[in-house]
Amino acid sequence: MACAYFSSFTSIDKNGRYFLSAHIPLSFTTRNRGKDMVIQPLTLRDMTLYYKHKKVPQSSVQKLFQAVMGDKHSILDEPVFDDVPHLTDWLPELEAIRHSLQNLNRKQYFVNQNEVVAKNVVEKFSAAGDGIYFRRAGPTEKVYFKPDEVNACIVTCGGLCPGVNTIIREIVYALWNQFGVESVFGMEGGYPGFYARNTIQLNLRVVDDIHKRGGTILGTSYGDHHTFKIVNSIQDRRINQVYIVGGRSTHKEAHMIYEEVRRRGLKVSIAGIPKSVDNDIDIIDRSLGFDTAVEEAQRAISAAHVEAESVHNGIGLVKLMGRHSGHIAMYATLASRDVDCCLIPEASFYLEGQGGLYEYIERCLHENKHIVIVVAEALFADPTYMIRAVPSNASDNIYCTLLAQSAVNGAMAGYSGFVVGPVNGQHAYIPAMRITENPKRISIIDRMWARLLSSTNQPDFRQVKKLKNERFKASKEIELMYIYY
């Protein structure tokens, strides 16, 4: 297959069109080996995959293809299977063994290796079927680890999130009860636990009721990631399955661990379970703990509403988490029906003047004698973090079970460098780097934001600002015409 070598692309924004995409993920083009940077070959399939993920206009990228690869090459107008790595990619002599469920005549539980999950379910009819597909998660007929040879560890990193303890419990239960794996332990304090040599032995008795507690029994930390030290520890301890629970930054570092494991030719599966109370993990339907966070946030909104309507001209201000996106604020607002105004990072607004926030607050106080405002964290200092420290609710507990079992099935099947999550309602194995490229943010031109505006009856500050800008430009033109004449 023809290929070209790139380290990056230059963005050319001319007349509103993209001639080249602005950024190519490092996993496609380079690998970091200490201080050395190795340029990797970027195949036609890689470029097609990137174009489809980023939704760059095909006509714009086509010119690049033909200029670099020749007139005979074009973007692949066909389905693209964005598969996850497998241990046999660097250990080709590895032999598969029968899954234990086969002995119980439960073949109906296995997923077919040809089954995939579509990234998008709503497409144009003219281009139906030529999108991106991920490998479907679930138990497979063949596995690549014998129960007595598995030495598994679990590590939790980043901020707290409802359901992390449930994930730990369900991973242990899946390994013990489904596969007969008894060598499972947890790394204390996040990634530094690998080289601090602090571990907790995990068995069914230890994790039995931890799902009733908030936080994580393993502890957590931010940053302090040293890939070589971690992989050295994995190698010294003879760990061959690593389950990593964390957010976007954690999985970017997990991908680095996978890369080093692969470079050393180790039989080690790196399985990721994405968590983010903010629900800002790209591709997957929702993040671990998000349902619980929305439920807790709704209680805070209800309390603020009672307080606000109990006094004359009462204002209830609720600050919710959301560093990069306002998913919790938006969904809690839709769930409560008591909110008059929701402010999120994705939707710009202004305070003073006609059509501004102050004017809207005054109108609400005049008409309703109270107002409830929900503000996402990125727009307000000193946020309250209580919603991330509570135990997970029933919905998130079920979700944790599905995530944990899918991760264990993926690791036992020999996959590595992946995360698991629901895509359009079906659990799938996704290359870890896919979820780290961009945070999932709310589209304010989407229907869900329109539903919120309908629920709160707040003005679309974006449209008001646009109208003011048009009026300002018109007034300047009149002023110039007056000066000219």
Q: Which of 46, 82, 278, 340 is catalytic?
A: 278
The pair phi, psi for residue 201, each rounded to 5°, is -70, 130
Q: Give bridge partners of residue 332 from the DSSP assignment.
A: none
Report the alpha-carbon distance of residue 322 to residue 327 in Å, rounded. 7
CA atoms within 13 A on the CB side of 128: 5
Q: Where on the phi/psi map is residue 83: left (φ > 0), alpha (ψ -120 to 50), or beta?
A: beta
Place of tokens 């040293």: 226
Active-site annotation holds for 36: no
Strands ordered across the beta sheet of 314-320: 314-320, 370-376, 341-343
Among 399, 421, 400, smallest CA distance to 410 is for 421
Is-contact 398 352, C-beta < 8 A? no
Active-site residue list: 278
